[in-house]
Amino acid sequence: MKSSRPVSLTLNPFKFSWPFTALASITHRLTGVALFGVLLGALYIMQLALSSPAGFAEAKSLLAETWIKVLVLVVLASLVYHIFAGLKHLLLDFHVGDTYEGAKLGAQISIVLSILVTAALGVWLW
């Protein structure tokens, strides 16, 4: 085990100036935690829908409720952003866009694409 592995800086997030790329990065983390948080809930809905025709109808009526629809859209938005931000990381691994300007542009592209795909999924949900 290496004892020299990098350690994240000890910064006070409230005194820290948040450049655009930092916001894009922390959102990648936050959406990851959010997706972890809904794993079991998503499995519950899947189990309900797969259990029987009655369970399927119940899952359908659950997903028709406004607050659950909003929650599903938030989860889908998190998933879409997490995937686009992840794709950006894969490109960075191949040194595509790993300059400061490139990183800024990459973050902007991932956010614009996420908004477009989320909007399309929202139209589909409603």
Partner 1 sequence: MVTNVTSLTRSGLSDFLVQRVSAVIIAAYVICVVGFFVANPGLTHGDLVRYFGSLSMKLFSTLAILSTAAHAWIGMWTIGTDYLREAHVGGGATALRLIYQSLCVLVLFVFVGWGLTLFWSLG
What residues line the site for partner 1 (CB under 8 A)? 1-3, 5, 7-8, 10, 29, 32-33, 35-36, 39-40, 43, 46-47, 49-50, 52-53, 55-57, 76, 79, 83, 86-87, 89-90, 93, 121, 124
CA distance 38 to 75: 8
- Count of other CB atoms within 10 angstroms of residue 42: 12
For partner 1, give the closer residue by CB, 39 or 101: 39
Decide: 79 and 37 in contact? Cβ < 8 Å: no
- Cβ proximity to partner 1: between 5 and 95 the closer is 5
Q: Between 101 and 106, whose beta carbon lies closer to partner 1?
A: 106
Give the C-alpha separation, 94 to 29, whole Å. Answer: 21
